[in-house]
């Protein structure tokens, strides 16, 4: 029986994280971690759940964009979508009128990710598999049929992608077993948000060390003296052998980034993340065309994919394959709301079916808001354990959605009754 | 008396241009030329008008984004905004939560342009000058104080910008007189939209030649045989000495673009516009950081600024100055709804106060929808004549706004009564 998608609903769900400075960095000083949360439903009553991550104000704009896209989805069957997933991806990203307000960037691309994430979740549920396993069990031809190669054929052709996937078949079963047993290595960003006091930072770092963490990311970029003090503190606590990364969240001009990082180099960061504009060298690449150029220019040493800023699984597959071709390790972004839940599937697929390599690779982890999901991530000894429930792990608890819906959920009604919040 | 902005309203206004294939190209096969139309009002009752251009579906998302930004504007005085226009630009583009859904790209940047265009219009009206004259009369220090140099100081510093503007003072008065007398050279895109028949194309080209046009842009990219036939036809009609440009509107991969253009090279195009992804080499740059890189990489030979995709006058000033530093001629995008009305101000400023050069320079012109504006462009002998009315020339007739408002304007009610339109 074909599953016809008959309904799409989308909600603006926000968590008031700015009250305690969780997630604060040099550019996002007061984030309220939020999602545009999508639920699709088939005529058979099966549901698929998807989301994209935002940081508060503006989520309503993404919600509006999801509604604008919904007409392209509702009325189609899951079977016809996945039979030509490349075509469906292009339908969403290249609608002859809507592409003007992107294309494949900003609000409309975030909305595309939320919608497609829900479709992938639905597909995995119908197949009764967690998403990573659905991907791992696909033939190279099936994987490649999900990718839109428009604008990247000068870096990676369909044939090359097939060859890479076929070559990686060797040892696949063993790698899957290894992942089920050991999990995928993670690093933590939970200890050193910019708005945390030194005392908070010390406490969190102590706890993390006790829990087996050995890789830590620190937010930097607002004040050089602060940065030096915080980085020194962390390096002293973790010792010389553990790994430290830094993240400036787009704060600097090119001319500022170099001397600033020279000052911080004694603390031996493995990488500096987003030193400048996301449209410049390095940075938060928003689509496969940006990643392609950075790879071609050897302008990045770590590829940080994002499950919600790229166009869902489809576009992430393209980037994973390009990264493998250019032999650059992938270390996914995560955190926020649901990003850990989503991206673990992609990095498991990458290891098992594409890169077959764990050198210099790790997946970001942030210990926030997992309690709102029906299948939250499981971390053991600083590793992500492969999810077992069918789907893409981003179904939220109905009660969490209702309480945090903006602006009429209980949490927000109570906060607004307390008076206006500082901007 | 300070002018406090007390109100912002925004409307979704669409023209059903797809019915007659006006504006059609290889990627936008059925555009309904549209605007998110912004009106701001001060407590003294003065109004400012701004817009950003879109092509139909999705305009409601930009409208939603304008509403999200309005809280940053309403309640401020025009005086405090223009006293620190750089700061206000950054407030809009770097709001610590909303920047996540951009930054400075896609929906939120289009919305930023619409809002800032209205502020500039208001300022020019309060000063009783057309916008180009307001700009031309500014001191170099004032011009530079409107520009956010974040992320571009490696290509252009504030001091360099000041030096360029000071150097260009020589001959400024003469150039202003010249513009008032002769106008700024234009080229036409009205003859050769992709959806037009050969007969339509021949007729329009004949008329354009009779009206003194000597520079023509042709849409290409969907079918090579069609392209050859259409380009041959136009080259035959205009003769060997007149100028032809081509525009593929992002249709090709890099590997397709080269052989395709080799086939069309016998027709001697001056440029090929948007051969591939807007995030790749060349293309519709969406902010100053993209333009900076293309200039640094010598990857474009003509800078095509856009009055509605860049962050209004402020960001266009940055790009004009960078283009001048890198000695690349500026040939603005126009057409759509209101783009000609807006961009003429910027290119007049560029000639009078920055580049002082007309070599290889011309401003696009498309003969559509000007009748909906209170101060439409005036073209004489294929030149833009400088506007004389105060403001930024994008106030629309109230009757046009009401009739074309989507979905409840008379035009759209009538069309929907006629039954569903082909997608």
B61-118 residue pLDDT tens: 999 999 999 999 999 999 999 999 999 999 999 999 999 898 889 999 999 999 999 9
Assess contact for A42 and A78: CB atoms under 8 A. yes
Mutate to test the interface with A, among B27, B57, B148, B295 (most CBs of A within 10 A): B57
| Alpha-carbon gap: B318 to the closest alpha carbon of chain A (Å) | 15
Band (B278; pLDDT cuts 50, 70, 90) = low
The backbone region for B360, taken as left when phi is positive above 0, alpha when psi lies in -120 to 50, beta otherwise, is left
Assess contact for A345 and A387: CB atoms under 8 A. yes
Residue A407: is the preceding peptide bond cis (ω within 30°)? yes
Q: Is B110 on the interface with A (CB under 8 A)?
A: yes
Contact: A250, B103; criterion CB under 8 Å: yes
Q: Which of B149, B150, B279 lies nearest to residue A290, judging by beta carbons?
A: B279
Band (B421; pLDDT cuts 50, 70, 90) = low
Give the pLDDT score at B420.
63
Residue B260 has pLDDT above 50, yes or no: yes
Q: Which of B58, B104, B150 lies nearest to residue A100, judging by beta carbons?
A: B58
CB contact residues (below 8 A), chain B span 245-284, against chain A: 250, 253-255, 276-280
Query: Distance (Å, rounded) from C-alpha A118 to C-alpha A258?
Result: 41
Q: What's chain A's average pLDDT?
A: 92
- In chain B, residues with a C-beta closer than 8 Å to the C-beta of A64 are 60-61, 64
Q: What burial class does residue A100 get, using C-beta atoms within 10 Å of its C-beta: 0-12 exposed, 13-18 middle, 19+ buried?
A: buried
Mutate to test the interface with B, among A277, A278, A280, A281 (most CBs of B within 10 A): A277
Query: Distance (Å, rounded) from C-alpha A354 to C-alpha A117?
Result: 21
Give the pLDDT score at B293.
79
Residue A285 has pLDDT above 70, yes or no: no
Query: Distance (Å, rounded) from C-alpha B405 to C-alpha A162?
Result: 49
User: Who's near B278: CB < 8 A, 6+ residues apart?
Assistant: A103, B250, B284, B285, B286
Q: What burial class does residue B297 get, using C-beta atoms within 10 Å of its C-beta: 0-12 exposed, 13-18 middle, 19+ buried?
A: exposed
Reference B138, options B179, B206, B82; nearest CA is B82
Tens digit of each residue's pLDDT (9 = 90 or more) over B171-194: 999 999 999 999 999 999 988 888
Q: Which of A27, A107, A149 lies nearest to residue B108, judging by beta carbons?
A: A107
Token pair belonging to A297: 């220019």
Assess contact for B172 and B140: CB atoms under 8 A. no
Contact: B97, A55; criterion CB under 8 Å: yes
Strand partners for B396: B373
Give the pLDDT score at B281.
45
Contact: A27, B96; criterion CB under 8 Å: yes
Give the pLDDT score at B249.
86
Tens digit of each residue's pLDDT (9 = 90 or more) over A149-177: 998 888 899 999 999 999 999 999 999 99
Q: Is B297 on the interface with A (CB under 8 A)?
A: no
A370-394 burial, b at 16+ Cβ within 10 Å, e below that, comes to: bebbebbbebeebbbbbbeebbbbb
Q: Is A21 on the interface with B (CB under 8 A)?
A: no
Tens digit of each residue's pLDDT (9 = 90 or more) over A342-369: 999 999 999 999 999 999 999 999 998 9
- In chain B, residues with a C-beta closer than 8 Å to the C-beta of A286 are 105
Q: A172-392 adopts what CATH topology?
A: TIM Barrel (3.20.20)
Residue B253: is the preceding peptide bond cis (ω within 30°)? no
Band (B317; pLDDT cuts 50, 70, 90) = very high
Q: Is A329 on the interface with B (CB under 8 A)?
A: no
Q: Let me know if B219 is a catalytic residue.
A: yes
DSSP state of B354: I
Assigned CATH class of B172-396: alpha beta
Query: Distance (Å, rounded) from C-alpha A298 to C-alpha B161?
Result: 31
Please state the ipTM of this predicted complex: 0.89
Element (H or E) spanning A53, and its range? strand A47-54
Assess contact for A32 and A420: CB atoms under 8 A. no
Strand segments, DSSP code E, in A149-292 are 184-192, 215-219, 243-247, 269-273
Q: Where are the domain boundaries for CATH 3.30.390.10 in chain A? A: 5-129+399-417
Give the residue carrying structure tokens 């050198």.
A359
Reference B194, options B73, B420, B67, B25; nearest CA is B25
Q: What burial class does residue B408 get, using C-beta atoms within 10 Å of its C-beta: 0-12 exposed, 13-18 middle, 19+ buried?
A: exposed
Contact: B97, A278; criterion CB under 8 Å: no
User: Who's near B188: CB < 8 A, 6+ residues apart?
Assistant: B208, B213, B215, B216, B217, B364, B365, B366, B367, B382
DSSP state of A111: H
Q: Where are the domain boundaries for CATH 3.20.20.120 in chain B? A: 172-396
Strand partners for B9: B39
Token pair belonging to A42: 């088939």
Q: Which of A97, A253, A276 lies nearest to residue B57, judging by beta carbons?
A: A97
- In chain A, residues with a C-beta closer than 8 Å to the C-beta of B309 are none
- In chain A, residues with a C-beta closer than 8 Å to the C-beta of B292 are 280
The residue annotated as part of the active site, out of B133, B217, B219, B404, is B219
Q: Where are the domain boundaries for CATH 3.20.20.120 in chain A? A: 172-392
Instruction: Name the CATH superfamily housing domain B5-129+399-417.
Output: Enolase-like, N-terminal domain (3.30.390.10)
Assess contact for B88 and A48: CB atoms under 8 A. no
Q: How many percent of chain B have pLDDT more than 70? A: 97
Assess contact for A282 and A298: CB atoms under 8 A. no
What distance, in Å, lies between the first and last C-alpha atoms of chain A?
Answer: 52
| Alpha-carbon gap: A177 to the closest alpha carbon of chain B (Å) | 38
Distances (CA, A) of B291 to A290, A296, B160, B247, B318: 15, 19, 17, 19, 10
Distances (CA, A) of A138 to A127, A147, A184: 12, 13, 21
Q: What's chain B's average pLDDT?
A: 92
Token pair belonging to B16: 């059903």
User: Who's near B129: CB < 8 A, 6+ residues apart?
Assistant: B137, B390
CA A121-A124-A125 angle, to 5 degrees, is 85
Q: Which of B57, B100, B253 lies nearest to residue A55, judging by beta carbons?
A: B100
Token pair belonging to A418: 């307390």
Reference B96, options A31, A285, A421, A106; nearest CA is A31
Distances (CA, A) of A34 to A54, B104, B263, B361, B402: 5, 20, 51, 47, 36
Band (A282; pLDDT cuts 50, 70, 90) = very low
The residue annotated as part of the active site, out of B22, B333, B372, B404, is B333
**Average pLDDT value for residue range B359-374:** 94
**Residue A189 or B300, more confident:** A189
Q: Helix, strand or coil for residue B185?
A: strand
Tens digit of each residue's pLDDT (9 = 90 or more) over B379-404: 999 999 999 999 999 999 999 999 99
Band (A420; pLDDT cuts 50, 70, 90) = low
Residue A127 has pLDDT above 90, yes or no: yes
**Average pLDDT value for residue range A227-241:** 95
Q: How many percent of chain B have pLDDT more than 90? A: 77
Give the residue carrying structure tokens 């609000």.
A107
Assess contact for B65 and B110: CB atoms under 8 A. yes
Strand partners for B388: none
**Average pLDDT value for residue range A374-378:** 96
Contact: B100, A151; criterion CB under 8 Å: no
């Amino acid at each position: 029986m074909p599953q016809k998608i008959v309904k799409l609903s989308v909600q603006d769900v926000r968590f008031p994280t700015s009250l305690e400075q969780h997630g604060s960095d040099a550019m996002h000083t007061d984030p309220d971690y939020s999602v545009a949360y999508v639920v699709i439903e088939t005529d058979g009553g099966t549901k698929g759940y998807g989301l994209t991550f935002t940081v508060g104000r503006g989520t309503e704009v993404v919600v509006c964009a999801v509604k604008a896209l919904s007409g392209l989805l509702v009325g189609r069957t899951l079977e016809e979508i996945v039979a030509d997933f490349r075509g469906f991806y292009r339908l969403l990203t290249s609608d002859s009128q809507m592409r003007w307000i992107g294309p494949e960037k900003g609000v409309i691309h975030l909305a595309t990710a939320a919608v497609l994430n829900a479709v992938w979740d639905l597909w995995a549920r119908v197949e009764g598999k967690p998403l990573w396993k659905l991907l791992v069990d696909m033939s190279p031809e099936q994987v490649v049929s999900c990718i839109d190669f428009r604008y990247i054929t000068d870096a990676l052709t369909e044939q090359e992608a097939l060859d890479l996937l076929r070559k990686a078949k060797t040892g696949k079963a063993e790698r899957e077993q290894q992942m089920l047993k050991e999990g995928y290595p993670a690093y933590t960003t939970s200890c050193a948000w910019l708005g945390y006091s030194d005392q908070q930072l010390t406490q969190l770092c102590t706890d993390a060390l006790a829990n087996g963490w050995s890789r830590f990311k620190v937010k930097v970029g607002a004040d050089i003296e602060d940065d030096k003090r915080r980085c020194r503190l962390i390096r002293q606590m973790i010792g010389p052998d553990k790994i430290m990364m830094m993240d400036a969240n787009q704060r600097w001009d090119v001319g500022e980034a170099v001397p600033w990082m020279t000052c911080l180099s004694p603390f031996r960061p493995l990488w500096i993340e987003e030193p400048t504009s996301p449209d410049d060298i390095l940075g938060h690449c928003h689509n496969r065309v940006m990643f392609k150029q950075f790879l071609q220019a050897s302008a990045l040493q770590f590829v940080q994919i994002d499950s919600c800023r790229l166009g869902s699984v489809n576009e992430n597959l393209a980037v994973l394959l390009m990264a493998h071709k250019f032999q650059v390790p992938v270390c996914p972004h995560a955190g926020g709301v649901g990003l850990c839940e989503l991206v673990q599937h992609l990095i498991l697929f990458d290891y098992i079916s594409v890169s077959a390599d764990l050198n210099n690779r790790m997946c970001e982890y942030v210990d926030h808001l997992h309690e709102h999901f029906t299948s939250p991530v499981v971390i053991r000894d600083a590793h992500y354990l492969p999810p077992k429930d069918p789907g893409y792990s981003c179904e939220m608890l109905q009660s969490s959605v209702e309480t945090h819906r903006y602006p009429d959920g209980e949490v927000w009604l109570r906060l607004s009754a307390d008076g206006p919040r500082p901007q």
